[in-house]
């Protein structure tokens, strides 16, 4: 362990993972596979987001470490399989960053951040011979975030409105179609039109500079906080929500909303 303490912090973590996966290491770590680790990778990414939302540097520092652990873990599994190791991961990343930033490491000139993104997509297309401008949007993304990324990619190749007014009109059109499907009691049509309406709302959010995934996540947090307040007020009266009438709960809900401001 003395040698581990003397190593650069990053390589110390890499070696610790190698020890955990090796003979005499940790039984849990040794039995993990790429598939078994997928839920932890996703979970750690969201915990990083939560730490950012909380504005807590210490928590963010810890969660970034947990996320980095997942990358080191996957690289160690690949090394054991003779595929690649963490050095190769870093080399590929460094090459990609240089190649896709010709305005920094080359002679290309850009006007703004939007042009940087457009160049990035063009370079990706040439590198990977993409069949579609929408390639590369992960299927595992939450639906709102996935819709946002799809729309951003389409916009970078010119498939986009030039003004926000038609976007509002599209939202209103999709809402009317959803209401009509509801009026008919058409369950399949309702699901179809709800999807179209949500997609249009995501597009509006993008035009207005609002992240729809983050907006909904913050809304969820507010709901949990307010409903917890309602439960606490009822608990003080010796009641549970299922024992209370809606009028009472709504009154406490308004109290909770007032305390948010």
| Token representation of residue 48 | 């990083």
Provide the pLDDT for residue 130.
57
Cα separation, 133 vs 137, whole angstroms: 10
pLDDT > 60? residue 105 = yes
Provide the pLDDT for residue 118.
74
> 250 vs 120, which has greater pLDDT?
250
pLDDT tens figures, 10-35: 999 999 999 999 999 999 999 999 99
Provide the pLDDT for residue 101.
87
> 127 vs 67, which has greater pLDDT?
67
Give the torsion through C-alpha atoms of 68, 73, 74, 80, to 10 deg. 150
Tell me the pLDDT band of 48, cut-offs 50, 70 and 90.
Answer: very high
pLDDT tens figures, 221-236: 999 999 999 999 999 9
pLDDT > 80? residue 185 = yes
Task: Return the minimum-mean-pLDDT range out of 39-53, 117-131, 215-229.
Answer: 117-131
Is 67 in contact with 48 (CB distance < 8 Å)?
A: yes
Task: Return the minimum-mean-pLDDT range out of 3-7, 29-33, 203-207.
Answer: 3-7
pLDDT > 90? residue 116 = no
| High-pLDDT (> 90) share of the chain, % | 71
Q: Where in the chain does DSSP place strands (E)?
A: none
Is 200 in contact with 167 (CB distance < 8 Å)?
A: yes
Tell me the pLDDT band of 3, cut-offs 50, 70 and 90.
Answer: low
pLDDT tens figures, 127-183: 666 567 787 788 888 899 999 999 998 998 889 999 999 999 999 999 999 999 999
User: What is the rounded average pLDDT of the residues 68-89?
Assistant: 97
Annotate 16-63 with three-state secondary structure: HHHHHHCCCCCHHHHHCCHHHHHHHHHHHHHHHHHHHHHCCHHHHHHH
CATH fold, domain 2-98, is: Helix Hairpins (1.10.287)
| High-pLDDT (> 70) share of the chain, % | 94
Show Cβ contacts of residue 125 under 8 Å, excluding neighbours closer than 6 positions. Answer: 133
Cα separation, 77 vs 36, whole angstroms: 12
Backbone CA torsion sign across 194, 200, 203, 208: negative
Residue 116: closest CA among 133, 97, 131: 97
């Amino acid at each position: 362990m003395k040698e581990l303490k003397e190593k650069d912090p990053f390589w110390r973590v890499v070696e610790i993972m190698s020890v955990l996966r090796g003979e005499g290491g940790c039984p849990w770590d040794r039995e993990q596979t790429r598939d078994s680790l997928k839920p932890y990778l996703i979970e750690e990414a969201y915990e990083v987001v939560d730490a950012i939302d909380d504005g807590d540097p210490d928590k963010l520092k810890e969660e970034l470490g947990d996320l980095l652990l997942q990358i080191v873990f996957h690289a160690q599994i690949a090394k054991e399989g003779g595929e690649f190791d963490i050095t190769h991961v870093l080399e590929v990343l460094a090459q990609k960053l240089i190649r896709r930033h010709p305005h920094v490491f080359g002679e290309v000139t850009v006007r703004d951040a939007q042009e940087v993104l457009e160049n990035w997509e063009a370079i990706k297309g040439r590198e990977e011979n993409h069949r579609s401008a929408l390639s590369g949007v992960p299927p595992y993304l939450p639906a709102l975030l996935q819709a946002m990324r799809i729309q951003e990619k389409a916009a970078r190749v010119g498939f986009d409105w030039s003004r926000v007014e038609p976007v509002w009109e599209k939202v209103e059109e999709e809402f009317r179609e959803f209401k009509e499907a509801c009026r008919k009691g058409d369950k399949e049509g309702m699901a179809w039109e709800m999807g179209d309406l949500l997609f249009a709302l995501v597009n509006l959010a993008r035009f207005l500079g609002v992240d729809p995934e983050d907006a909904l996540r913050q809304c969820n947090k507010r709901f949990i906080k307010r409903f917890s307040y309602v439960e606490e007020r009822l608990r003080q009266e010796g009641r549970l929500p299922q024992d209370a009438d809606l009028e009472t709960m709504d009154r406490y809900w308004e109290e909770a909303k007032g305390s948010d401001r």
